[in-house]
Chains A and B, each alone.
Chain A
Amino acid sequence: MALNEMKFEFKAENPKSINKGWSHFGVVGSGDMEILMEKMDLNGSVQVKIVTPVTGFDNVWGMVMEKFIRSSNLGDVYIEINDNNATPVVVSMRLRQALADANKQEEEVDEDA
């Protein structure tokens, strides 16, 4: 099955990057997804790459990502999402979870692992 790949770029007001240099959250189980976040100098922008088996929902993904990035004032981050049919409910929760995880102090990481 061919996978659908999308790319977006958004810029929020007063952007702030994540604490960790690199973070990974979630698994590509059925109805779920994984999110990789990497701190990167992108002039305050956020670049997003999404890989999903689902087609026809590209604008929805765009709206979800834009809203997420704007409401969290995220910037200078490269986000990669590998989706396996996650619902919008799961997508928005996983995004927030990934961000919360990426903003933890580095020393907390071991505890979580």
Chain B
Amino acid sequence: MEQENVKVWDTLKRDKEERIGQVKNLVKEGKVVAAKDTVALLEGVIKPGDKVNLEGNNQKQADFLADCLCKVDPKKIYDLHMVQSVIALKSHLDVFEKGIAKKLDYSFSGTQAGRLAEFVKDGKLELGSIHTYLELFARYYADLVPRVALVVAFEADKEGNLYTGFNTEDTPVIVEATAFKQGIVIAQVNKIVDKVTRVDIPAGWIDFVIESPKPFYIEPLFTRDPALITDTQVLMAMMAIKGVYGEYGVQSLNHGLGFFTAAIELLLPTYGEELGLKGKICSYFALNPHPTMIPAIESGWVKNMHCFGGELGMEEYVSARSDVFFIGPDGTLRSNRAYSQAAGHYAMDMFIGGTLQIDKYGNSSTATANRISGFGGAPNMGCDAKGRRHSSEAWLKCGKEYGLQEELIGNLPRGKKLVVQMQETFKEKLEPTFVEELDAWKLQKNANLDMPPIMIYSDDLTHIITEVGIAYVHKCTDMKEKMAAIRAVAGYTEIGMQADEKETEALRKKGIVKTPEDLGIDVSRANRSMLAAKNIKELVEWSGGLYNPPAKFVNW
């Protein structure tokens, strides 16, 4: 009787030992398993219903392990609950098609977004929630602890030390959650070496390492060719620099990806310098190493840049600029998505990025009716960090201008993060940016979501920049005024056509709407000759030959 009451407190540990015991014969030396034995390894250590993290980052992919997971016997391994940042590869969804996995909690999907929506609709996949990166990482330490993590690194030694190097990205946050909760961690690496370049993940946290037949897949996501930047983008970049960066003295920031922010980056050493803003703006970035940042970095604008991940071709350049980037004793970049997202949320005064649609209330979304693309990191950077307690000039000024401040907290001074959406009023194929109702509502219906996926909510949004002008929407004192400010910069879209000229005039007088003329910008100067580099080749020249662009960007 008494013995039956003894509670066992280490079932997870015993379970792990049992699983590892079953695959002992596959281990050659130290923790090394041969690539050809990977499917058998997975079948040995994974059990039906497990939460499995398959490392799919924004950039690097555990593609070999993903392929092997698709090859396990669905009679043995089924009902897996996948928890992973990104659905990027075909194999990430194939595991659902084959009946190996059942449920998904994730953050972002790019090229697979359409197929993901189909799977949800057809009942092939049970969608948990769509998260931001930081939010998903947080749940790895609460109710989504992975039982097995399948991660990826550049190098491993036989003991299991990993070098994740330039593209460390999500690996540390995944491995820590798994390893310390008695989970099993398997790493695919490009090379098994005698001594790793640098220990990014200590051997004690890793259970198995596999040299994959070919190097892991990585995507150059953040490279924008300056040759494709348009005059309109130059005009909007000039407005952003003068009307927002300069106006508020924005020192710490994150740039979303796209041509608008690429144009801003390339105008810092020209237009920014001309306005006398060097040293007064853009000193600290949470940003991937964008090649279009090279001219600004070379001109001495940037004091500090922490990276979520790497960017193909920027390895040597970044290594040679350790005053700016975070570099290990081995001389290569250490990126880390979790820390960079934390910096983006708490330490940055501004987020600026493009979007797909903005509704008449100022909510914006990148969702379309038939693609579940998710969020990534933008909502964490594109929101007012309510827990922020440190101050800065830009943050305080924005808070001071906030039209609802007194209504919400009385007479207390409090800052506000600048959250800027930058988009032309029409996109390709004449699709309007400003809409009566977001397509996110249609997606909610089509994919049976709890709510429409919103990238940035109107109450966090502070500025909208279009080719017409800037709406300082945070200055508005109610929704009626905010909607008028949005109409005023919505151009010839149906929303914009409803703008009342007298109302717009009044908003301009109050400084809630500013046109390029109001900002003192000579619009006739807005053309590509303002860019510090006009093509990829000029970026290479600025870098002194240290930037090695991927082949698809080389045309000389």
Using a CB–CB distance below 8 Å, which chain A residues touch chain B? 25, 60, 63-64, 71, 87-90, 92-93, 96-98, 100-101, 104, 112
Contact = CB atoms under 8 A, between A and B. Distances in A.
A92 B524 contact: no
A65 B351 CA distance: 35
Contacts of A92: 467-468, 491-492
B524 A89 contact: no
Interface majority SS on A: helix, strand, loop or mixed? helix
Given A25-B524, A96-B523, A104-B524, A88 B232 contact: no
A77 B379 CA distance: 48
Given A88-B491, A90-B232, A100 B424 contact: no
B1 interface: no
Interface string B421-441: 000111000100000000000
Given A89-B424, A89-B467, 14 more contacts: A60-B492, A88-B425, A88-B426, A88-B492, A92-B467, A92-B492, A93-B232, A93-B235, A93-B467, A97-B523, A98-B524, A100-B522, A104-B524, A112-B524
Contacts of B468: 92
Interface in B485-536: 491-492, 497, 501, 516, 522-524, 526
Nearest to A57: B430
Contacts of B426: 87-89
Nearest to B432: A88
B207 interface: no
Given A63-B492, A104-B524, A93 B430 contact: no
Interface of B: 230-232, 235, 424-426, 430, 467-468, 491-492, 497, 501, 516, 522-524, 526
Contacts of B424: 87, 89
B507 to A, nearest CB: 14
Given A63-B497, A64-B492, A97 B526 contact: yes
A93 B492 contact: no
A98 B523 CA distance: 9
A96 B492 contact: no
A47 B491 CA distance: 23
Contacts of A25: 524
Contacts of B235: 93
B522 A93 contact: no
Contact of B232 (A60, A63, A89, A100): A89
A64 B496 CA distance: 12
25 contacts: A60-B492, A63-B492, A64-B492, A71-B501, A87-B424, A88-B425, A88-B426, A88-B430, A88-B492, A89-B232, A89-B424, A89-B426, A89-B467, A89-B491, A90-B232, A92-B492, A93-B231, A93-B232, A96-B523, A97-B523, A98-B524, A100-B522, A100-B524, A101-B524, A112-B524
A89 B526 contact: no
A92 B231 CA distance: 12
A100 B520 CA distance: 12
Nearest 10 CB-CB pairs, A to B?
A100-B524, A101-B524, A88-B492, A89-B424, A97-B524, A96-B523, A100-B523, A97-B523, A89-B467, A89-B426
B341 to A, nearest CB: 32
B236 to A, nearest CB: 9
